[in-house]
Amino acid sequence: MEPKIAGQKRRHHDDSDPSTATVTGCVKRHTHTTLDIYPPRQFDISFPFFRKPQRIGYFSISKDRRVHFDQTHMKFYKEPQPGDRIQYNLREGFESHRSQDPEVKERLDLLLTWIMSHRDKFQIVDSTQKGAVASSVATHNVLNTDFVLWRGHLTKIMCTPYSRRDAWRLGACRYHGTIYISEVEMAESRTERLNRTQRQTEMCYWGYKFEQYLTTGKPGGETDTQAVVDSREQLCVVVRSRLNSHSLVYSGEVDCFNHKSSKQFNVFDCSMVELKTSREIDHPRQMHNFKKFKLIKWWAQSFLIGVDEIVAGFRSDEGVVER
C-alpha cells in the first residue's frame, strides 16, 4: 500500500508538447482529483524504496531569468572560524535588493530548457552491445522517465501528512509517456501573497542575506556582504532518482557547495550545503513547533536533492544572527 497525499491535482492527456505549452494548457479534457490524508495513521508504514539522487546536470539562472549551461551563479560555503564573532544583520541592504516578479509564472520552462539541450542524458544504452543506444530521445522524443518536476513539488507532497495547513494544487501533463508536474497557484495563496505586509516581505529577504554572509564566488574566496542581493540569480542541479517503480527527474536550487578537497572542484561529487534561518528558541513550546513544522521541511528538501549538510542561523526579531 502506498500513502495517499492530500491536495488537488489536474490530470491531462497525451496531446501537447510540454516544451512549447504551459503545463496546465495541454488539455483536451481534464479531471480534478483530491487525495485524502485522513486518517493520518495510514502513513505509519515502512519507508518506500527511494534511490539516492544522482546528479546528471546543472544550470545557472541569470537575473533576467534565462538559463545558462554553466557555473556562473555557483556559490561556495565559507565556514565561520573558531573565535569569529557572529553578528549578521539580515536587514542590511533590503531597500536595494532585487527579486523575481511573483506575477511571472515560469512553471517548468527553465527545467525544460535544460532537458531539451541535454537529451543525451535520457538515452537508454543497450547493455548487450557495448555503447549501442537502445532508445534515443533525439529521434523518438521520449525521455524514458516517468515524472519530471521541481524538487519543491516533491517537498510539498512529502510534508503534507505532517503539515496539513498548507494547501496546494498541482497540474499534470502526460506527453510521450512522461508526466510533467507543475504547481498551480491557489486563490487563497494568491490573496495571501498580494496582502503580504512590508515586514513579511523583509523577513523573506533575510534568508537570502544570510546566504551572502556565508558564501563566496569561488573556493577559498572572501564574502562580499556589500553587494546587492539579487535572488533572481540561482544555480540549480538536475538529479535522477526512483521512488519504488517510478523513475524521477527533477531539479532544485543549491545554496552552495562545500569544497574542502585539494582536488579540482567537480560539481557532480562535491557536497552541497543548505543555508537556513530561524527565530531564536526561547522556550520548550517553540522548540516543539520548530521540530514539528520547520525541521521536517528542511530535511525533506535536503534529502530529496542529496544535500549533505544544513547550516542554520538563529536570529532575533530584529533580524540579527548571533549563532
pLDDT at 2 over 90: no
Q: Tell me the C-alpha to C-alpha distance, in Å, between residue 125 and each of 128, 185, 245, 318.
A: 9, 39, 19, 56
Query: Per DSSP, what are the bridge partners of residue 253?
Result: 236
**DSSP state at residue 225:** T
pLDDT at 5 over 50: no
pLDDT at 258 over 90: yes
Q: How far apart are CA 266 and CA 61, in angstroms?
A: 19
The identity of residue 13, as a single letter, is H
More confident residue, 109 or 42: 109
Mean pLDDT score, 83-88? 92
* Strand-strand pairing, 7-12 and 169-175: parallel
Q: Torsions phi, psi of 252, nearest 5?
A: -155, 155
Read off the pLDDT of residues 164-178 as tens digits, 9 standing for 90 and up. 788 899 999 999 999
pTM of the model: 0.87
Q: Residue 41: what pLDDT? A: 84
Give the CA angle between residues 138, 140, 144 to the nearest 5°: 90
Mean pLDDT score, 216-236? 96
Supply 160's cell numbers.
503534507
Read off the pLDDT of residues 174-212 as tens digits, 9 standing for 90 and up. 999 999 999 999 999 999 999 999 999 999 999 999 999
> Which run of H or E residues covers position 112?
helix 109-117
